[in-house]
Amino acid sequence: MDTYKIIEVKQSVFEDNDRQADLLREELKRDKTFLVNLMSSPGSGKTTTVLRIIEALKDEMKIGVLEADIDSDVDAHTVSKTGAKVIQLHTGGMCHLDADMTKQGILELGTEEIDFAILENVGNLVCPAEFDTGASKNVMILSVPEGDDKPLKYPLMFSIVDVLLINKMDTINIFDFDLEAVKERVKKINPNIKVIPICAKTGEGVEEWANWIRSEVKSWNE
Amino acid sequence: MDTYKIIEVKQSVFEDNDRQADLLREELKRDKTFLVNLMSSPGSGKTTTVLRIIEALKDEMKIGVLEADIDSDVDAHTVSKTGAKVIQLHTGGMCHLDADMTKQGILELGTEEIDFAILENVGNLVCPAEFDTGASKNVMILSVPEGDDKPLKYPLMFSIVDVLLINKMDTINIFDFDLEAVKERVKKINPNIKVIPICAKTGEGVEEWANWIRSEVKSWNE
């Protein structure tokens, strides 16, 4: 039996998304729930990365996951097996989540018992970058097979994230990917970005990301 | 010296995109220009695939390329070296192209001397699927590293394309990718889809795609 709930999120009625996002962020702060908005292209390894971080942190904090997808619940099904509380959000064709849609998910998830929540956004490097979800921090994944030119082509996304995880590092010798060039390109548009190379499949680098979350959860609760 | 032009496409003023798309298609038919709208996630290998198909067909037909990107002209720069006529379209943050934006590109490209034109759409599996560009046919690329579950998550895109190219086939043994499962999933939502496994890097499978284009260009001119 699957232990996750599926909700069809309704399109937002609020015109001022930034205001709704600020309100949600204040509520999350009050409830001591640190929310990460995780964004990437389709197929960069978001779900495997979520599984790894749950594994690394589940004995230290209560974790909740919002899985956003246009259709299907394959990811919610996978993530629910970890024991984390999971809500599947169906966006009904929408290419991104806004603050109100995130709020609908957070209400279902409940914040009282959740220390760290992850919103797995719709796989898309364009539209999600334009909408503040109300999350505490933004994290994105770029996977090695996608190529090192992506910061040049999708600059907005790279400019709004706090952490860039570079995933599938085990394939760096197969693909023509220049890690230093990526770092240089992203620091030019986002000087404070933290870049962490990982391999979600093997677990390489995940501890560094876990340490960042530990430290952020602590600050969020102060 | 670069031999391509960059144009900043303006947001469409037309409410009825489907009507504009039909008009553009009729014009292309009259001008004997076969236009393929090529869509995929960021980093699936669209540009390398475009380079390969130009190489395969350039001695048989006149080829033009519209490179759509939110920012940068790295792809136009690369493709212009083949000698094909290239126009870089900057979408100004827009996540897709509609028929009017495509028309702006086609006007710059000129159709009189072009037999086969390729529109490299913005890297995005969601929004481009919702807008008929006026192209003769729709083609998409799914690359092996993205995973075999994508038809379940982005069904609209897979349902509207005539051809699905499965790229980076040289990495199928590294990634956990079930080609037969993908075929089954896409045929369920799009029974007439043609699936062609390719490797744009090595050229494997490109001849089959070239044959499809040869045959379509011929029908388009009848």
| Each residue's pLDDT tens digit, A67-107 | 998 888 889 999 999 999 999 999 888 899 999 999 999 99
For residue A90, what is the enclosing H or E element? strand A85-90
- Among candidates B71, B126, B152 on the partner chain, residue whose Cβ is nearest the Cβ of A155: B71
pLDDT above 90 covers a percentage of chain A that reads 85
Confidence check: pLDDT of A219 > 80 = yes
Q: Show which residues on chain B lie within 8 Å of chain A, measured between beta carbons.
A: 41-43, 69-72, 74, 93, 95, 122-127, 130, 143, 145-147, 149-150, 152-156, 168, 171, 174
pTM of the predicted model, to two decimals? 0.93
Contact residues on chain A for B143, CB-CB shorter than 8 A: 43, 145
DSSP H helices, chain A, are 17-30, 46-57, 74-80, 99-109, 150-153, 155-160, 179-189, 206-220
Confidence check: pLDDT of B1 > 60 = no
- Would the CB atoms of B145 and A171 count as touching at under 8 Å? yes
The predicted pLDDT at position B2 comes to: 57
Structure tokens at A92: 């009904």
Pairwise CA distance, residues A61 & A32, whole Å:
12
Structure tokens at B45: 């290998």
3-class secondary structure, A197: strand
Contact residues on chain B for A74, CB-CB shorter than 8 A: 149, 152-153
Rounded to the nearest angstrom, the minimum Cα separation between B95 and chain A is 6
The closest alpha carbon to B13, from B106, B136, B98, B127, belongs to B98
- Would the CB atoms of B126 and A127 count as touching at under 8 Å? yes
Contact residues on chain B for A43, CB-CB shorter than 8 A: 41, 143, 145-147, 150
> Residue B40: phi, psi to the nearest 5?
-175, 175
Rounded to the nearest angstrom, the minimum Cα separation between B74 and chain A is 8
Confidence check: pLDDT of B169 > 80 = yes
- Would the CB atoms of B143 and A95 count as touching at under 8 Å? no
Mean pLDDT estimate for chain A:
94
Structure tokens at B128: 């481009």
One-letter amino acid for residue A94 of the chain: M
- Among candidates B124, B127, B145 on the partner chain, residue whose Cβ is nearest the Cβ of A143: B145
> B116-120 and B137-143: which strand pairing?
unpaired
- Would the CB atoms of A145 and B149 count as touching at under 8 Å? no
Confidence check: pLDDT of B81 > 50 = yes
Confidence check: pLDDT of A25 > 50 = yes
| Mean pLDDT of all residues in B82-89 | 93
Pairwise CA distance, residues B97 & B91, whole Å:
8
The predicted pLDDT at position A12 comes to: 66
Contact residues on chain A for B146, CB-CB shorter than 8 A: 41-43, 145
More confident residue, A10 or B150: B150
Rounded to the nearest angstrom, the minimum Cα separation between A126 and chain B is 6
Least confident among B12-21, B115-124, B128-137: B12-21
Structure tokens at A219: 């600050």
Pairwise CA distance, residues B98 & A154, whole Å:
19
| Mean pLDDT of all residues in B39-58 | 96
Least confident among A15-24, A178-187, B207-216: A15-24
Pairwise CA distance, residues A142 & A182, whole Å:
10
| Cα torsion angle, B106, B55, B159, A76, sign | negative
Confidence check: pLDDT of A1 > 60 = no
The predicted pLDDT at position A176 comes to: 87
3-state secondary structure A99-155: HHHHHHHHHHHCCCCCCEEEEECCCCCCHHHHCCCCCCEEEEEEEHHHCCCHHHHCH
| Mean pLDDT of all residues in A193-209 | 97
Residues in chain A: 222
pLDDT above 70 covers a percentage of chain B that reads 98
Query: Please, are residues B142 and B44 in contact by the beta-carbon 8 Å criterion?
Result: yes
Angle at which helices B206-220 and B46-57 pack, to 10 degrees?
A: 70
- Would the CB atoms of B127 and A123 count as touching at under 8 Å? no
> Residue A176: phi, psi to the nearest 5?
-85, 85
